Structure 1
Amino acid sequence: MKGLDNIQQKLGIKLNGMQEAAMNAILHTNKDILVLSPTGSGKTLAYLLPLTQLLNPDNPQIQAVVIVPGRELALQSSEVLNNMGSGLKAIACYGGRTAMEEHRHTKQVCPHIIFATPGRLNDHLDKNNFNIDNIKFIIIDEFDKCLEMGFQNEMSRIFEKLSHVERHILLSATNAKSIPQFVQMGRTEKVDYLSTEQVPDRVTIYKVKSPVKDKLETLRQLLCDIGNQSSIVFLNYRDSVERTASYLEQNRFTVSAFHGGLEQKQREDALYKFTNKSANILISTDLASRGLDIPDIANIIHYHLPENEDGYIHRVGRTARWDKMGKTFFILGPDEALPDYIDGNMVDYQISEELPEPPKPQMATLYIGKGKKDKLSKGDIVGFLCKKGGLQITEIGRIDVKDRYTYVAVSHPRLQHVLQLVQGEKIKGVRTVIEEVK
């Protein structure tokens, strides 16, 4: 088991006040824990760090279950744990693939922690796919979302099956009105770092007037005006996301579309391109308002108004994370007004009369048809792209080596030149597919 200092040094982080308080409560009491803290304040680390000290890596059994509202948060959280190098293993369980496939994967990995959506966790519990006898902790991340009415039946069934669990840890950026009885919270310690501020004062709030009801042209102008910054455009409906993404692509923007109606691979590709700066604009429903840890998002644009105050808080929580600054823009049609729940000083934003061309992303994503199972490493990729592709190390960004393929971000201006140079070349003595992820 690695010590906390070693893990923090590996991650290159210094704990904030909330993380220190949560860690002390989890490590040094036997109580159930309720953590309330703004989006972007590091709640995932606040519970994972103490778990690395409380769970036994030498026991190859599941010792903690983390329940999350969506697959993206499950994947990101398991990746955070795996990056710690603590000796603990994790898997993510969610819909969109067969439970049998996950069951096989679980038997291979022997995880200590499972990150799961409620429905998929119930599926495994119903089939007795896991040994639950060693589970000591249930963590509910984004508990306000997980305990909404749509999840109530699923969640109550989970707690009925895991009634022997010793401790519960609940975390959220907004406070649920009440915690249902079935959660079985015992003596509870509350770590409350929610501010009375609705959004951080590091966020500047702008109002943008659209002269017509259809706001697409105003959005286009705004995105040209703010330039090559990372932006999320929020809409309330899936078909609106598709329509908006299509319009912007026709106008030579590079965007990623993200909503719950997409296939799992499409969603993962969209997020990956946005995260590694191959697309500087994410067009999304409120699915992207929770559970995504993407650094350096400069702008949050409300094409459609948030449906409620909690939705607004979670949307804006994507920017100004930790100690950074951010901006949020409301595009208002002729008959629209801001909801009463929106606090803070509002600034009228005037779009420039002379606009630049649509901004190009910094990076582009390459697909390489080999991965870990082919003995390919990040070092192999860097060496290949520098030697055969003519790139400098500074022109190579994020690299993700999967089992059977690899994604790598490269400088966008150099993309076509790299593709020409590497066609037909061997990587580790084998020819493979190398192409742009579009």
Structure 2
Amino acid sequence: MFDFDMLGLAPALNTALERAGFSEPTPIQNQAIPLALDGHDIMGLAQTGTGKTLAFGLPLIDHLLAQPGKPLPKTSKALILAPTRELVNQIAESLRGLTEGTKLKVTTVVGGQSIGKQISILSRGTDILVATPGRLMDLMDRGAVDLGQVRHLVLDEADQMLDMGFIHALRKIAPKLGTPRQTMLFSATMPKQMEELSRAYLTDPRRVEVSPPGKAADKITQSVHFLEKPEKPRKLREILSQDPNALTLVFARTKHGAEKLMKGLRADGFNAASIHGNKSQGQRDRAIKGFRDGDITVLVATDVAARGIDIPGVAYVINYDLPEVPDNYVHRIGRTARAGREGEAISFCASDEADLLAQIQRLMKIEVPVASGTSPLIDGRAPGGSKPGRSRRGKGGGAGKPSAQAPGGRGRARRPRRKKAA
């Protein structure tokens, strides 16, 4: 382990790290940064909340600071692709903090905002372009951006880009980039397609991995309530009322369901907002800012937000609906226990979601401890499903039994003390 000031980074970066209160790197930063500074392509695997942005951002900025000259009109020296607007904005915010007081300019392009304004900004050129693939393709089709000067490519949350069908956009974008270039790919999970992606876009990459794919952060306490759908609203309100001032992120499966749930919570006096694909970018930005600032305490979201929210103060994640893609469970609950803090993930499982829970447990190689209700899983399997891995927490989380998260079997998950938002 080393301190940041031992890396030989540009003085401006050391100043920015000191200003932000960073002194020691996280495990993924510890492994990735020295290799990236040496110019190697990187394939990084780490759960959410472990500091991946600095892992690629610091060496990227260090390289750019050493390069003379301003970017030419319509060009960029580095390109960072991320799957959602929220994640693009989060990355850009972090990088701007690191480049403050330097010559480097960070620009974002995402859907839902004025493409005319983005064309105007890009006409002046930028050092680092952070973009969603879809909007970048729109700008390329209009001749508004020239990627031939890009010598650094970062694919962040690459597995979700594959899930969202962006592989076709990547195949069109990659040939337009300059060569030779350094490519860094980061992801929290490792589907088979990721290996194919790495072979296509990375050259002799160095693989850095700080946790097995599909593993949640160690400081997340997980539990599940078995109940039918009509019982979910009552249980949600009961849990939220236990700690009404805590920042709680609630995941629903559909846009309509998220909006309906948010309106119902508001009607019952909860300070709630929602973000999903039917919201404008401005509405989503305001909701996230309100949540970050603590003005909103309950944020109801679809999976569009699973990887785009980096708010250390999120105390609880509630899976009102289980995700249909098991990997998304890992990303959802990774919104809590960030920056070394503790957090809790609570899931609701109706009888028709039992197979989804079985898939999640198989991916994570645990049995999620039961907080209340009777599990429909038989010997760890949903009817007609396959057996998940054995719990690392021992037998206390067995189906239908009181767990460590439900003392006395009263059907209520123990909630940690609220931590203030950073």
TM bucket (normalised to shorter chain) is: 0.7 to 0.9
Question: Structure 1's 18 and 180: CA in aligned 2 closer, same or farther, altered over 3 A?
Answer: closer
Listed as ranges, the matches of 1:32-431 within 5 Å are 32-56=41-65, 58-61=68-71, 62-84=76-98, 85=100, 87=102, 88-108=104-124, 110-148=125-163, 150-162=165-177, 164-177=179-192, 178-180=195-197, 183-195=200-212, 198-210=215-227, 213-333=230-350, 336-337=353-354, 338-342=357-361, 343-348=366-371, 349=406, 350=410
Structure 1 Cα separation of the partners of residues 213 and 188 of structure 2: 12
**1:42-71 deviation per Cα after TM superposition (whole angstroms, max 9, x unaligned):** 101111111121014752212100011011
Structure-1 residue corresponding to 2:28? 18
1:39–1:212 CA distance, 2 compared to 1 (3 A): closer
C-alpha separation between the residues in 2 aligned to 1:145 and 1:20? 24
Q: How many angstroms does 1:122 deviate by?
A: 1.7
Unmatched 5+ stretches in structure 2? 1-9, 372-405, 413-419
In structure 1, stretches of 5+ residues that fail to align are 353-361, 363-396, 399-438
CA displacement 1:230-280 (0-9 Å, x = unmatched) = 111111001100110011111000011110111111111111111110011
- Does the aligned pair in 2 maintain the 1:138–1:165 contact within 8 Å? no
Shift of 1:196: 6.7
Aligned length: 353
* Partner Cα separation in structure 2 for residue 182 and residue 18 of structure 1: 21
Verify the 8 A CA contact 1:26 1:50 in the aligned structure 2. Answer: yes
* 8 Å Cα contact 2:46/2:213 also seen in 1: no
SS of the aligned residue for 1:256 comes to strand
Residues 17 and 198 of structure 1: CA distance in aligned 2, closer, same or farther (over 3 Å): closer
Displacement of 1:339: 2.3
- The one-letter code sitting in structure 2 at the alignment partner of 1:179 is E
Q: Distance in 1 between matches of 2:278 and 2:86?
A: 14
- Cα 1:97–1:322 shift into 2, 3 Å: closer
Identity value in percent: 30
Name the SS for the 2:159 alignment partner. helix
TM-score, normalised relative to structure 2:
0.78
What is the CA–CA distance in structure 1 between the aligned matches of 2:247 and 2:256, rounded to whole Å?
23
Residue by residue, what CA displacement relative to the aligned partner does 1:92-144 show, whole Å, maximum 9, x if unpaired? 10111232210212335x42000001111122223332343431111101111
Aligned to 1:8: 17
Residues 386-408 of structure 1 show CA distances to partners (whole Å, capped at 9, x for unaligned) of: xxxxxxxxxxx99xxxxxxxxxx
Q: 1:161 to 1:196 in 2, by over 3 A?
A: closer
Give the whole-Å Cα distance in 2 for the aligned partners of 1:231 and 1:333. Answer: 21
Q: How does the TM-score come out when normalised to structure 1?
A: 0.75
Match of residue 400 from structure 2: none
Provide the rounded CA distance (Å) in 2 between the counterparts of 1:82 and 1:51. Answer: 13
State the 1:344 CA deviation: 4.2
Q: Is 1:31 equivalent to 2:43 in the alignment? A: no
2:133 & 2:264 partners in 1: Cα distance?
36
Secondary structure of 2:62 counterpart:
helix
Question: Would the alpha carbon gap of residues 334 and 135 (structure 1) be closer, same or farther in structure 2, given more than 3 Å must change?
Answer: closer
One-letter amino acid matched to 1:309: P
CA contact (8 A) 2:251 2:303 kept: yes
Shift of 1:299: 0.7
8 Å contact 2:147–2:176 — kept in the other structure? no
